[in-house]
Amino acid sequence: MRDARLRRHLRGLLRRLDLPLPLEVGLLCERLGQLRGTPIALLEWELEPTGPSGMLVSRVDEDVIVFQSRTSRAHQAHIILHEVGHIVAQDLDGVALPQPLLRTSYTARDERDAEVIASTIMHRALSMTRRLDHVAQVGGRSVQSSLVLWDGWS
């Protein structure tokens, strides 16, 4: 029920963000920040390996996503999308958080919401990128044929 609501909200959001593929998380954060009217800054940081690999610092005029520098690019993308998930879920619930706020602890539901959002974005972007690659390889005789099969983040 809640997952369905999250996914529906996310689908509309992704359509509005209209991101090019393959997905670039930096651009996603940039466009999401523009859409929300609050910029999202990304800060790569050497975090303690035993601690969280990412965190969200919500300030009055910006949200800062801090992410682990000592890990793979793919893992970094997942960390960032997870924190984006917290932002999106908070917006959906209309939660007004005290500012400034460093979020490192969440409820189990919050964590689950963030993971649902992160993995949904990841899976959709990957499957659509694969579809586009397939179109380019198999039927990609012209740009036209790609455009016909590509209907965006619908």
Least spacing, CB of residue 39 vs Zn ion, in Å = 20
Neighbours of 117 (CB within 10 A): 26
Closer of 29 and 128 to Zn ion (Cβ): 29
Closer of 28 and 55 to Zn ion (Cβ): 55
Neighbours of 17 (CB within 10 A): 16
Least spacing, CB of residue 69 vs Zn ion, in Å = 18
Q: How far apart are CA 70 and CA 84, in angstroms?
A: 20
Question: Among all chains, which residue has been given the structure tokens 């997952």?
Answer: 3
Q: Which stretch binds Zn ion (CB under 5 A): 11-19, 70-78, 104-112, 128-136?
A: 104-112
Beta strands in the chain (DSSP E): 40-45, 54-58, 63-68, 101-103
Nearest to 67 by CA among 77, 54, 58, 57: 54
Q: Which of 19, 114, 116, 125 binds Zn ion (CB under 5 A)?
A: 114
Least spacing, CB of residue 111 vs Zn ion, in Å = 5
Least spacing, CB of residue 104 vs Zn ion, in Å = 9
Hey, what's the torsion of the CAs at 131, 132, 137, 138, to 10 degrees? Answer: 60
Closer of 114 and 117 to Zn ion (Cβ): 114
Hey, what are 91's tokens? 């917006």
Least spacing, CB of residue 56 vs Zn ion, in Å = 8
Closer of 19 and 114 to Zn ion (Cβ): 114
Closer of 84 and 128 to Zn ion (Cβ): 84
Contacting residues toward Zn ion, per CB under 5 A = 111, 114
